[in-house]
Amino acid sequence: MSQALIRKLQNFVKLSAAEQRAIERAGSERVRRIGAHEDILREGDKPNGALLIVDGWACRYKYLEDGRRQIVGFSVPGDICDLNVFLLKEMDHSIGSLTEVVVADLSRETLEGLMSGSTRIAHALWWDNLVANAIQREWTINLGQRDAVERMSHLFCELFLRQKSAGRAQGNSCDFPPTQAELGDATGLSTVHVNRTLQQMRSADLITLQNKRLVINDIDALMRQAMFNPSYLHLDRDGAHLDAND
């Protein structure tokens, strides 16, 4: 159940077989399935732990009083939705499913047990949390500085590499279920502008997007278009000095 998380954490630190089994147990204790377009946690709810996305896609979002929505993050298999969210008295944003999702509820006790039982797991989870913060900074830059094509290209590069790091991409393609309206909520663009932007990217032969599947026709060209620097995802084994020997 937790293979995507294990695969992603091993981009930071090589975990032992025992450590992998501990993560697998933690991710298999409290598992539930949720339908598409349902709230998993609502703003104002009391969080009891962190959510691990086992399968499917979710998003974090906030509504304005007039009904407008801003998606502040997409969550793909292997993602923990805010490692320290259990410290909050109440949720300050909502988490909802984009597709049918399988989630594992990781209690505070479970997370603390994993981290106290293994320095490597603790460091890998902290690295993962640092990457989550870095992703938020890039999203801020997206909204503030990049134009529509750069914005969309950057988002596509990021989501492809995040899925690839968790073993969820195949060659140059990956799942990509967000609708144009959801892409607009994430990038601050109208649905019409999203449609026009995607047409422009298709015409440039950068991507093929069909049947909820993204194919990146030329990853180097897409990265150049987005001015994308993948260093913020820290996929270069920063924790190699902590690698397990078994």
Burial class (CB in 10 A: 0-12, 13-18, 19+), 155: buried
Q: Sorting pLDDT into bands at 50, 70 and 90, what band is 37?
A: very high
The pTM assigned to this predicted structure is: 0.93
Give the C-alpha separation, 41 to 164, whole Å: 27
pLDDT higher than threshold 80 for residue 225: yes
Supply the angle between the helices 148-165 and 119-144 in degrees, to the nearest 10: 170
Q: What is the 3-state secondary structure (H, E, C) of the chain?
A: CCHHHHHHHCCCCCCCHHHHHHHHHHCCCCEEEECCCCEEECCCCCCCEEEEEEECCEEEEEECCCCCEEEEEEECCCCEECCCHHHCCCCCCEEEECCCEEEEEEEHHHHHHHHHHCHHHHHHHHHHHHHHHHHHHHHHHHHHCCCHHHHHHHHHHHHHHHHHHCCCEECCEEECCCCHHHHHHHHCCCHHHHHHHHHHHHHCCCEEEECCEEEECCHHHHHHHHCCCHHHHCCCCCCHHHCCCC
Residue-wise pLDDT tens digits, 92-128: 899 999 999 999 999 989 999 999 999 999 999 999 9
pLDDT for residue 235: 86
pLDDT higher than threshold 60 for residue 246: no
Domains, the chain, in order of start with CATH, read: 3-135 (2.60.120.10), 147-233 (1.10.10.10)
Q: What is the average per-residue pLDDT within 9-19?
A: 94
pLDDT for residue 84: 79
Give the pairing of strands 69-75 and 207-210. Answer: unpaired
Q: Which residue has the higher pLDDT, 7 or 239?
A: 7
pLDDT for residue 244: 65
Query: What average pLDDT does the structure give for the chain?
Result: 93
Q: Which two tokens stand for residue 120?
A: 């490597």
Entry field: residues in the chain: 246
